[in-house]
Structure 1
Amino acid sequence: MVRDAARADTHAERSGVRSGLRRKFLLRLTHKRNVRSLSALVALSMLVPLAAACSKEDPDDPNNRRTLRIGMLYGSKDNESWFRQQYTDMFELGHKNIDIELVYSIDYSDQMFESYEESKKREQPDPLAKMKELLTGQNPVDVVMLDNGMLGQLAQENLLQSLEPLIKEDKIDLEAYVPNLIESIREQGNGQLYALTPTFSSSALFYNKKLFQKAGVELPKDNMTWDDVYNLARRLKTGTGKDAVYGLSFTDWGGGLNFWNIASIATPLKLKMYDDKAEKMTVDTPQWEKVWKDPVQLYVDHVIPHPEDTQQEQPADGSYRYNPYQDRPFFSNKVAMVIGSYNLVNDLNTFNQNVDKMKGYEKIDWDVVTYPVLSEMPNVGSSMYLGQLTGINAKAQNPKDAWEFIKFMNSKDTAKFKARSNYELSALQEFIQPPGGASFNIQAFYALKPMPYEFNEADDKLNRERPNLSYVSQLADITFQKAIEGKLSVKEALQEWQTKGTDMLQKIKTNPKGEFDMSPYMDAGDMSPQKRALMRASGEIVG
């Protein structure tokens, strides 16, 4: 019994030991499994963000290709290379996964093979309606290039996205831009920026310092009115014949004066030629008379040169050598002041660098002041034009890339290249520097506000429906010529334009697009035989 009990205890003890060992083994096995599972979980948890990172779209991944559609009012596929070179090629080079597609609301190629008469008879497209189609169609554009006058209308109809939140988010310093440009764009957007422009162009008043000093007349200054300029011009007119010096010219080429020069002065006043229905002229008014009066009198008095005054005599021995400045009186020290665009700066620099190669010329000591203003609008320059105003479609399919493109167009990197232009100025102030080491008052080109321009849908519609209305402007130039030639006073010329123009409007109303005969509105001496022959050949006059 004792042995059996002892044997039983030993067996139990051994069994207990085995059970304990088994439990330890199972615990170790479980622990190892738990450790492996935990390691697996840790490894898995590390792989999750890695996988997520791999699955996230990389904006610069060449395989993640996208198309950015840019809409413009006018253009055609056969001549878009210039625009691409100017604006999109560099962007695509830095964004290899973005393809640029240019879309035109009015394609030039649809009209390039039409005759003048065919184009008049064809129903003219509505630019604003066509632009809206680009923004609201089934495949809307992302970016839109705007004409100055359309921005306000499209913003008012909520067709454009405000850039203000994007500018704030990316901390773009608007103070780096020309203040008058930003203010002008904001005004069109009712206080909001709906577009930006990388460049602008404008004109100013150039003057010859030497001629002012010789005449003992104080130099021009910024913010002069047209009346101020006219008074200076009178004081600068000296001499006669070959020795004559003229006070002012509205053009750098040749001499003379025409209706279009005067129309540019009156632009800020928004003077109308006829009423809203194009049935009666509205030009026999004190406002029109005031705009015409002084320039006409300056021309009559030879303060503004006549075309024959600026023609250079050819050598008697028959020797002739052409130079590009022979028909430009400002370069021959014959005109003291001239209205010129920014590209005149480059011409003057080139002239002064090469003047020793041209017989009879000397260097010009010149400078520039702001474009003359009207006393009614002393801070507005009618000559400034905003470059590629660029906005984002409110229904853009690719708004992020659209904003990247606008940022690129208006960036410092782009401005560095745009600053080399001879025709435009950068919207970023730090890149507006006199070219070629010249020293002049370059601020004159941007010190004034651009003229506020509003797209008049009713006027645009009227001109599309009655393209023959363009003849009213031709009649204006004919009557203006009578005034500067002394055949009529300014008052009489405006009365003639009013009377003949009203009769013309009635005929245009019944014949809005067909052939139109100008001869009943012209006297025999109203134009040179050469111009009359050209107008007869084009069908504008008969007989």
Structure 2
Amino acid sequence: MKKVWLAGFIFVCMLVAACSSGTSVDVGGGEAEPPAQEPAATGGQKEAETETPAAGDDGPAELVFYSTSKDSEEAFNERYGDAIREQFPNYTIKYIQRVPESTDLEQLIASGQRIDILWDSLGSFPGSMINHDLKFDMSELLEKHGVDLSRFEPTLIDAAKQLGGGAIYGLPVENSTKVIFYNKDIFDKFGVDYPTDGMTWEQLHELANRLNVESDGAVYTGFSPPVNSMVLQNSYSMPLIDPETQRSTYGDEMWKKIIETELLSTANNPTVKKAMQQYRKGNFQNLDQFYKDKVLAMWPEGQLLPILFDEELSQMNWDMVAMPTYSDKPGIGYQSYPIFFGITNQAENKDAAMKVLKFLVSDEFQLAHSKKGNMTSLANEEIMKAMGSESAFKDKNYGAFFYNKFAPVRPLSEVDTKVNALSPMTNMLRGVINGEYDINTGLRMAEEEVNKAIDEALKK
């Protein structure tokens, strides 16, 4: 089963890099707030709002699902499809796997293929749902079917509302964020204390720098940052493009602070640079150095890592802790990166589709999903604490995923879905690390490149 997920996992990793624009959905604001105390969508009692739809409670319906993720049908069934069919035996559930140049969204639409429910990650949902004019405001259906939005992690609902300008085009069914996976054997080898939840970036780098060591013919390093997530999910909720001015934000001093804190504090170390050359031909170290070469002590990753790489991780002495935080934003971690499910305007039976979505966000489904190691989108402590309890790694620190508050999802400009604002930043950072130019010059170059792309996009 791991192999059918692997293509999707790799695609998601690549997607985060490619979709700062055509795929990123993001909502900004200040620090994360407590769960909203707004009234339930139905005004009914809690029991009625969270009730799971009864199996076989209506007539037959056919629902067609689609995602740009390229997940296989087998993977879709394991995550969602089988549970939906069991809950709704009268429904015919179909899934169309995306095969590039064969079943891309443009091709399906042109052929007249109906899509009832479109699901995608935060990065690709607006490019799929909005840019292809499939959007449908589910607000009335949510109220009709008693879906209580106050049950969710509030930053996710804020993101959904910001994406639709107040309308709800998608419901967060699953969440994701980064935590630090660490190899205990490397820490033990060099007599360094393990990382802990609640660290600041300064404390993490202090640990990491003690692990930048050449030993027994290998070059060990303490930490490599997730460069794409560092930008897209930054703790300050900085947008890549200002929604009001529709200009790049890379000239803002905050970007310099983020890059210097999370990247340059580690990457400027001579041992780290040697490791980058030896293992990655000058590129940033990644997952391979963590689980395959076993020379990287700490690597940030999401909850799919133990699910997809269970065999590899079962042969390692590892655990995980929460991402570090900034001293001026205590307790605020990275932004979340949810999966949204949305009913399209093509859907023939929107009530049936909403019943399915209500089931996917029910306590029942979310609890079972969480126990397998998936991350719930609900603000429910019982479900959060159950994360990973039935996985192969139930003894690991899954609480790290919820240790910090989520930073609000960054503001999204309309032009974000048309311009790739991430690649100029990541390409520039490689040049900075390799000594081609300093950070100020690099940020100016990235800003100019993004602004040029914005100008071209606005002419169309």
Which TM-score tier does this pair reach, normalised by the shorter chain? 0.5 to 0.7
**Structure 1 residues 173 and 368, CA gap change in structure 2 (3 angstroms):** same
CA positional deviation for 1:282:
4.3
TM-score (norm 2): 0.61
Distance in 2, matches of 1:417 and 1:210, equals 32
1:444-482 per-position Cα deviation (integer Å, ceiling 9, x unaligned): 12333444336735324xx53xxxx43x65443443223
**Structure 1 residues 241 and 285, CA gap change in structure 2 (3 angstroms):** farther
Matched, 1:204 2:179: yes
Matched, 1:342 2:303: yes
Matched, 1:433 2:389: yes
1:329-385 per-position Cα deviation (integer Å, ceiling 9, x unaligned): 4555422222122233357752465x5xxxxxxxx4322111233445444433633
Give the equivalent residue in structure 2 for 1:222.
Answer: 197
Distance in 2, matches of 1:198 and 1:420, equals 15
Give the equivalent residue in structure 2 for 1:308.
Answer: 277
Give the equivalent residue in structure 1 for 2:4.
Answer: none
**Structure 1 residues 212 and 416, CA gap change in structure 2 (3 angstroms):** same
Report if the CA contact (8 A) 1:140-1:396 is conserved.
Answer: no
CA positional deviation for 1:155:
12
CA positional deviation for 1:200:
3.0
TM-score (norm 1): 0.53
**Structure 1 residues 308 and 390, CA gap change in structure 2 (3 angstroms):** same
Give the equivalent residue in structure 1 for 2:434.
Answer: 485
Report if the CA contact (8 A) 1:205-1:339 is conserved.
Answer: yes
CA positional deviation for 1:402:
4.8
Secondary structure of the residue that 1:491 maps to in structure 2? helix
Please, which runs of 5 or more residues in structure 2 have no aligned partner?
1-53, 378-382
Give the equivalent residue in structure 2 for 1:6.
Answer: none
**Structure 1 residues 201 and 244, CA gap change in structure 2 (3 angstroms):** same
Give the equivalent residue in structure 2 for 1:53.
Answer: none
CA positional deviation for 1:284:
3.5
CA positional deviation for 1:247:
1.4
Give the equivalent residue in structure 2 for 1:22.
Answer: none
Task: Read off the aligned partner of 2:61 and give its amino acid letter.
Answer: T
Report if the CA contact (8 A) 1:245-1:334 is conserved.
Answer: yes
Matched, 1:67 2:16: no
Q: Considering only CA atoms, is the larger Rg found in Structure 1 or Structure 2?
A: 1
Report if the CA contact (8 A) 1:392-1:403 is conserved.
Answer: no
Write the mapping of 1:2-21 to structure 2, written as runs, cut at 5 A. Answer: none
Root mean square deviation of aligned Cα: 5.3
Task: Read off the aligned partner of 1:288 and give its amino acid letter.
Answer: W
Distance in 1, matches of 2:212 and 2:412, equals 42
Please, which runs of 5 or more residues in structure 1 have no aligned partner?
1-57, 131-138, 175-180, 252-258, 313-324, 356-363, 515-543
State how many pairs are aligned. 378
Write the mapping of 1:37-436 to structure 2, written as runs, cut at 5 A. Answer: 60=56, 65-67=59-61, 69=63, 83=76, 86-100=79-93, 112=101, 148=122, 159-162=139-142, 166=146, 181-188=152-159, 197-239=172-214, 242-250=217-225, 260=228, 262-264=230-232, 266=234, 268-272=236-240, 282-294=249-261, 295-302=263-270, 304=272, 306-310=275-279, 327-330=288-291, 332-346=293-307, 350-351=311-312, 353=314, 364-382=316-334, 384-389=336-341, 399=351, 401-402=352-353, 404-411=355-362, 414=365, 418=369, 424-426=374-376, 428-429=383-384, 430=386, 432-433=388-389, 435-436=391-392
Secondary structure of the residue that 1:166 maps to in structure 2? coil
1:483-513 per-position Cα deviation (integer Å, ceiling 9, x unaligned): 2122322223334445xx26x8458746879
Report if the CA contact (8 A) 2:60-2:92 is conserved.
Answer: yes
Report if the CA contact (8 A) 2:224-2:299 is conserved.
Answer: yes
Give the equivalent residue in structure 1 for 2:34.
Answer: none
Secondary structure of the residue that 1:385 maps to in structure 2? coil
1:49-96 per-position Cα deviation (integer Å, ceiling 9, x unaligned): xxxxxxxxx9959xx7332656767699x9767545643454345544
Report if the CA contact (8 A) 1:161-1:391 is conserved.
Answer: no
Structure with the largest fraction of helix: 1
Distance in 2, matches of 1:377 and 1:418, equals 31
CA positional deviation for 1:161:
3.5
Distance in 2, matches of 1:440 and 1:144, equals 33
**Structure 1 residues 246 and 92, CA gap change in structure 2 (3 angstroms):** closer
**Structure 1 residues 437 and 261, CA gap change in structure 2 (3 angstroms):** closer
1:23-69 per-position Cα deviation (integer Å, ceiling 9, x unaligned): xxxxxxxxxxxxxxxxxxxxxxxxxxxxxxxxxxx9959xx733265
Matched, 1:443 2:399: yes
CA positional deviation for 1:409:
2.6
CA positional deviation for 1:207:
2.0
CA positional deviation for 1:443:
0.7
CA positional deviation for 1:206:
1.6
CA positional deviation for 1:419:
5.3
Distance in 1, matches of 2:375 and 2:297, equals 25
Secondary structure of the residue that 1:245 maps to in structure 2? strand
Secondary structure of the residue that 2:217 maps to in structure 1? helix
Report if the CA contact (8 A) 2:239-2:410 is conserved.
Answer: no
Distance in 2, matches of 1:418 and 1:236, equals 36
Task: Read off the aligned partner of 1:67 and give its amino acid letter.
Answer: A
Task: Read off the aligned partner of 1:335 and give its amino acid letter.
Answer: L
Secondary structure of the residue that 1:382 maps to in structure 2? strand
Task: Read off the aligned partner of 1:307 and give its amino acid letter.
Answer: M
**Structure 1 residues 211 and 512, CA gap change in structure 2 (3 angstroms):** same
Task: Read off the aligned partner of 2:146 and give its amino acid letter.
Answer: L
1:418-441 per-position Cα deviation (integer Å, ceiling 9, x unaligned): 45757x345634353162255221
Report if the CA contact (8 A) 1:160-1:391 is conserved.
Answer: no
**Structure 1 residues 161 and 289, CA gap change in structure 2 (3 angstroms):** same
Report if the CA contact (8 A) 2:250-2:443 is conserved.
Answer: yes
**Structure 1 residues 426 and 276, CA gap change in structure 2 (3 angstroms):** closer
